[in-house]
Amino acid sequence: MRTDITVKIGGEAGQGIQTIGTLLAEVCHSAGFFTFSIDDFESRIRGGHSFNLLRISNEPLVAPGHIPDILVAIDQRTMSLNKANLLSDSLVILNAESESGAEIDENSCSDADLEGCTSNNILKISLNRLAKEAGGLITANTVAAGSIFAVLGTPFEMLEGLLIKKFKAKGEKIINLNITAAKMGYEAAGNLRYNKQLDWKPTKTDRIVIGGAKAAGLGALASDCRFFPFYPMSPATGVIASVVPYSGKLPIVVEQAEDEIAAVNMAIGASFAGVRSMTSTSGGGFCLMTEGLGIAAMTETPLVIVDSQRPGPATGLPTRTAQPDLLFVINASQDDFPRFVLAPGNPAETFESVKKAFYLSEKYQVPAIVMLDQFLATSQVTQQNFFKVDKDVERFIFNQEDLKTSQYSTALDYKRYEITDSGISPRALPCMGDIMVRATGNEHNEKGQISEDATNKINMTNKRNSKLEAMKKEMDLPEISYPKGADKQFFLTGWGSSKGPIVEACQILQEKGINVGYIIFKDIWPMNSDAVKPLIENKKFIMVEQNSNCQMGKLITQETGISYYSSILKIDGRPFYPQYIVDKTLDIIG
Which one is predicted more confidently, 544 or 489? 544
pLDDT-based confidence at residue 42 (cuts at 50, 70, 90): confident
pLDDT-based confidence at residue 413 (cuts at 50, 70, 90): confident
Which one is predicted more confidently, 261 or 66? 261
Q: What CATH number does the domain containing 511 carry?
A: 3.40.50.920
* pLDDT for 551 beyond 80: yes
* pLDDT for 400 beyond 70: no
507 in helix, strand or coil?
A: helix
* pLDDT for 84 beyond 90: no
- Mean pLDDT lowest among 40-44, 331-335, 453-457: 40-44
Specify the pLDDT at position 394. 58
Burial 335-345 (b: 16+ CB within 10 A, else e): eebbbbbbbbb
Q: Average pLDDT in the 405-418 region?
A: 75
Give a yes or no: residue 197 inside a domain. no
Of the residues 126, 156, 188, which one is the last residue of a structural domain? 188
Of the residues 188, 219, 240, which one is the last residue of a structural domain? 188
Give a yes or no: residue 390 inside a domain. no
Between CA 26 and CA 554 the distance in angstroms is: 42
Q: DSSP labels for 66-84?
A: -S-SEEEESSHHHHHHHGG
List of E strands, 449-563? 479-481, 490-495, 516-521, 523-525, 540-545
Q: Are residues 128 and 262 in the same domain?
A: no
Q: Which domain holds residue 550?
A: 479-589
pLDDT-based confidence at residue 488 (cuts at 50, 70, 90): low
* pLDDT for 106 beyond 70: no
Specify the pLDDT at position 396. 53
Over residues 459-470, the pLDDT tens digits come to 999 999 999 999
The structure's pTM equals 0.93
Specify the pLDDT at position 96. 85
Mean of the per-residue pLDDT values of the chain: 90
Specify the pLDDT at position 113. 41
Q: Are residues 107 and 230 in the same domain?
A: no
Q: What CATH number does the domain containing 176 carry?
A: 3.40.920.10
Q: Are residues 494 and 346 in the same domain?
A: no
Domain count, the chain: 4
The residues, any chain, with a CB within 8 Å of residue 123's CB and separated by 6 or more, are 91, 92, 93, 94, 147, 151, 188, 189, 192
Over residues 279-324, the pLDDT tens digits come to 999 999 999 999 999 999 999 999 999 999 999 999 999 999 999 9
* pLDDT for 91 beyond 90: yes
The number of beta carbons lying within 10 Å of the beta carbon of residue 2 is 6
Over residues 122-160, the pLDDT tens digits come to 899 999 899 999 988 889 999 999 999 999 999 999 999
